Amino acid sequence: MEALIIQGGVPLHGKVRVGGAKNSVLPLMAAALLTTEPCTLENVPHLRDVNTMVKLLMALGARVEWDREKGTITIQAQEIPHPEAPYDLVKTMRASVLVLGPLVARCQRAKVSLPGGCAIGVRPIDLHLKAMEKLGARIDLEEGYVVATCRQLLGTTIYFDKVTVTGTENIMMAAALARGETVLENCAKEPEVQELARVLRNMGVRIEGEGTDTICIQGTPSLRGYHHTVMPDRIEAATLVIAGAITGGEINVTHVVPRHLEAVTRKLQEAEMDLAIGPDTIHVKAPQRPRAVDINTLPYPGFPTDVQAQFMALMTLARGTSVITENIFENRFLHAAELKRMGADIKVNGNRAVVKGVESLKGAPLMATDLRASASLVLAALAARGESRVSRIYHLDRGYERLDEKLRALGARIERTKEEWP
Ligand code: UD1
C-alpha cells in the first residue's frame, strides 16, 4: 500500500501537461477486439486501469504491446479463443464490461462477470444488457457471470432509458459488426463517445450523429485496424486547474481541449477565478478566495460528476455557501466526511451537499475511497495548513498518471510513501 504525505499551504506555480484520456483509451482498447488487424494507440496514459484492460485483452487471447515510455499500445486480436472476462479483473475495473459488445459481435458469444457494487453506488449494467437483447443476443446469468450468445446481431432501434456513457459505447461497438442499421436514441454525448465514433469510422463503420442524442450505425461484416492518438483527459485537466485555484497559485495547464471543459471553466469564472483560455491551454490565476457557486452534475455537456468531488474541495474554502447536487450517482459524497475531518463545513442530505466556506482547512490523516474522491482529498491537502497523509492511493493511480510528480513539479510538497496495512 502507498500513501501521499502532503505539506499544504504552498501556492502552485508553473506549467503542467495533461495526459491521454482514461475514459477514452479504455473503450478504444476494447474496440480493437472488433478486428483481426493490429490497432495502435498513441498518447496512452500510464494508469492502473489501462494495465487492467491490457491484462483483460491478453486473457481473451489478444497480443498486446505496451511501450510505457512512448505511451503507445498495439493490440491485435487475430483470434479470440476465450471470450470470457473473469471476475478477478472485472471487480477491479467496471469498465471491463466494455468488452461485452465487441465480443458478442465478433465471437457470437461472451461470458463477462457482473461488476457488482462499488463505492459510489449500485451502478447496474441492465441498460447494456437490455440493448444487447434488442440486437438479438440471448442473455443468461450464470454464477455471477453474464453469458451472451447470438447467431448474428441484427440492427434495430434502441432507446436508452437513462443516458449511459459505457452503455452507449458498448452498443456502438456491438452494432459496428451487426447486420443492418442500428439507431441509438438518448445516447451519451460525452467527448469520449465522440472519439470512439471517430475511431469506428476509421475502422470502416458508417456512423453518424455522435455528440447528439441519436447515433446511426451501419453494420459492416469486417473492420480494419486503426492508428489513433488519444485525446487529452478532461477530468485530469479540470483537477489540475482546480489545484492551481485552491492553492491560490497561478498555473498553465497545457494539452487540453478547453471546449470539453466549458461547464467547469464557466463555474470557475463564476467563482471569480481568473482564467485565460487558449486553443489548447487553460491558465488559471487565483487572486483571492473563490466565491461560492452552486453546481449540479449532469451528463455532458453539463457539469461532470467526475469533477464534483474536486469542486467541492474548492468550495470548502469559498466565501459564502454553495449547494452541490449530484444527479448521476447515488452515494457520491464519500469525500465529504473526510473533508469535514480537515475542518470543512459540509452538510449532506440525500444527493445534495451544502458547503459553507471556511477560512482555512487543517491537515489530517485521510482515507481515499474512490478515484475522484481521492483527487479531492489531495487538492484539499494541498491547500490545508500542516501535514496530511492520504492513504489507499491505489484509487488515485487507477485514473491519474503520476499526479504526485506533476504537482511536485508545480512546487507542491508531496511525497509518496509505503505504508503498512493490517
Ligand atoms: C462513465 C465513466 C465514469 C463517469 C460516468 C458518468 C468510463 C469508463 N467511466 O461511467 O468515469 O463517472 O460515465 O459520467 O467512461 N446506469 C444504469 N444502468 C446501466 C448503466 C448505467 O442504471 O445499465 C446508471 C448508473 O448507475 C448511473 C447513470 O446510469 O446512475 C450513469 O452511468 P453511466 O453513464 O453508465 O456511467 P459509466 O458508463 O459506468
- What pLDDT shows up at residue 232? 98
What distance in angstroms lies between residue 128's CA and the mean position of ligand 1's atoms?
Answer: 11
- What pLDDT shows up at residue 331? 84
Given a cut of 80, whether residue 407 has pLDDT beyond it is yes
Report the CATH number of the 22-229 domain.
3.65.10.10
Catalytic residue check, 118: yes
- What pLDDT shows up at residue 119? 58
Given a cut of 80, whether residue 4 has pLDDT beyond it is yes
Give the domain ranges of the chain.
2-18+232-418, 22-229
- What pLDDT shows up at residue 369? 87
In SS3 terms, the chain reads as CEEEEEECCCCCEEEEECCECHHHHHHHHHHHHHCCCCEEEECCCCCHHHHHHHHHHHHHCCEEEEECCCCEEEEECCCCCCCEECHHHHCCCHHHHHHHHHHHHHHCEEEEECCCCECCECCCCHHHHHHHHHCCCEEEEECCEEEEECCCCECCEEECCCCCHHHHHHHHHHHHCCECEEEEECCCCCHHHHHHHHHHHHCCCEEECCCCCCEEEECCCCCCCCEEECCECHHHHHHHHHHHHHCCCEEEEECCCHHHHHHHHHHHHHCCCEEEECCCEEEEECCCCCECCCEEECCCCCECHHHHHHHHHHHCCCECEEEEECCCCCCCCHHHHHHHCCCCEEEEECCEEEEECCCCCECCEEECCCHHHHHHHHHHHHHCECEEEEECCHHHHHHCCCHHHHHHHCCCEEEEEECCCC
Average pLDDT of the residues in 345-362: 97
Given a cut of 60, whether residue 46 has pLDDT beyond it is yes
Catalytic residue among 39, 107, 118, 150: 118
Residue bearing the CA closest to ligand 1, atom 35? 164
Average pLDDT of the residues in 405-411: 98
Average pLDDT of the residues in 250-271: 98
- What pLDDT shows up at residue 158? 98
- What pLDDT shows up at residue 183? 98
47-101 pLDDT, tens digit per residue, is: 999 999 999 999 999 999 999 999 999 999 999 999 999 999 998 899 999 999 9
Indicate the top mutation candidate among 165, 194, 296, 305 to test ligand 1's pocket, ranked by most ligand atoms within 8 A of CB: 165
* Pocket residues: Cβ below 6 A from ligand 1: 23, 26, 94-95, 123-128, 162, 164-167, 192, 305-306, 328-329
Average pLDDT of the residues in 94-120: 88
286-343 pLDDT, tens digit per residue, is: 988 999 999 999 999 999 999 999 999 999 999 999 999 999 998 899 999 999 999 9
Average pLDDT of the residues in 220-249: 98
What distance in angstroms lies between residue 250's CA and the mean position of ligand 1's atoms?
Answer: 33
Q: Which of the pair, 263 or 94, is modelled with greater confidence?
A: 263
- What pLDDT shows up at residue 122? 60
Given a cut of 90, whether residue 266 has pLDDT beyond it is yes
Mean pLDDT check: name the lowest of 115-119, 130-134, 154-158, 324-328: 115-119
Model confidence band, residue 421 (pLDDT cutoffs 50, 70, 90): low
What distance in angstroms lies between residue 165's CA and the mean position of ligand 1's atoms?
Answer: 6
Q: Give the position, in ligand 1's atom list, of the atom nearest the Cα of 126.
A: 23
207-226 pLDDT, tens digit per residue, is: 999 999 999 999 999 999 99
- What pLDDT shows up at residue 123? 73
- What pLDDT shows up at residue 117? 53
CATH fold for the domain made of 2-18+232-418: UDP-n-acetylglucosamine1-carboxyvinyl-transferase; Chain (3.65.10)
Residue bearing the CA closest to ligand 1, atom 12? 306
What distance in angstroms lies between residue 267's CA and the mean position of ligand 1's atoms?
Answer: 23
Proportion of the chain above pLDDT 90, given as a percent: 92
- What pLDDT shows up at residue 120? 53
Q: Give the position, in ligand 1's atom list, of the atom nearest the Cα of 94.
A: 39
Are domains 2-18+232-418 and 22-229 of this chain identical in fold?
A: yes
